[in-house]
């Protein structure tokens, strides 16, 4: 493999790992954390405490998300600069970057801020709306990453 193929392969691996992280967090981790009573015999967590745990997991995921933003932007800008422009890949990359930044920089930060105010704040309508919006953002992120991965894979092996 030449240098370009290695670069694209590593990029695809990173996108796949990020998509995998999003899916694992959304499907498995959240389901276990918010149903802890089914798995713990003696220690029962309140919904608020489960939310604190989930918030910390998402806070830590934020580091990965920010690094993903940098990697996606660098790769896609280099592709654009070298004349390898693809509207689908660029759109999916922009959507991925936007939703990663929204999730980590806005939704997670605001949710953690409201959690710090105590359980009452997390029972408010504002918190429910914020949480619902973050879930929609996470689903759009998963879709955007899947499209980006599949399109870049197609461009690598088949071309336009």
pLDDT tens figures, 29-39? 999 999 888 88
User: pTM here?
Assistant: 0.93
Q: How far apart are CA 14 and CA 38, in angstroms?
A: 34
Q: How many CB atoms lie within 10 A of CB 17?
A: 13
Q: Give the tens place of pLDDT for each residue, 77-104.
A: 999 999 999 999 999 999 999 999 999 9
Residue 41 has phi, psi (to 5 degrees) of -90, -40
Q: Who's near 113: CB < 8 A, 6+ residues apart?
A: none
């Amino acid at each position: 493999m030449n240098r370009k193929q290695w670069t694209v392969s590593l990029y695809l691996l990173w996108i796949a790992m990020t998509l995998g992280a999003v899916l694992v967090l959304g499907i498995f981790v959240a389901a276990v954390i918010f149903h802890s009573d089914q798995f713990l015999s003696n220690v029962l967590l309140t919904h608020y405490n489960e939310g604190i745990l989930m918030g910390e997991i998402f806070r830590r995921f934020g580091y990965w998300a920010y690094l993903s933003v940098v990697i996606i932007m660098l790769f896609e800008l280099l592709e654009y600069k070298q004349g390898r422009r693809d509207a689908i890949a660029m759109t999916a990359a922009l959507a991925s970057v936007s939703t990663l930044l929204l999730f980590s920089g806005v939704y997670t930060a605001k949710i953690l801020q409201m959690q710090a105010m105590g359980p009452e704040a997390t029972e408010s309508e504002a918190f429910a709306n914020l949480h619902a919006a973050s879930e929609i953002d996470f689903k759009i992120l998963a879709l955007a990453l899947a499209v980006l991965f599949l399109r870049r894979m197609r461009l690598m092996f088949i071309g336009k």
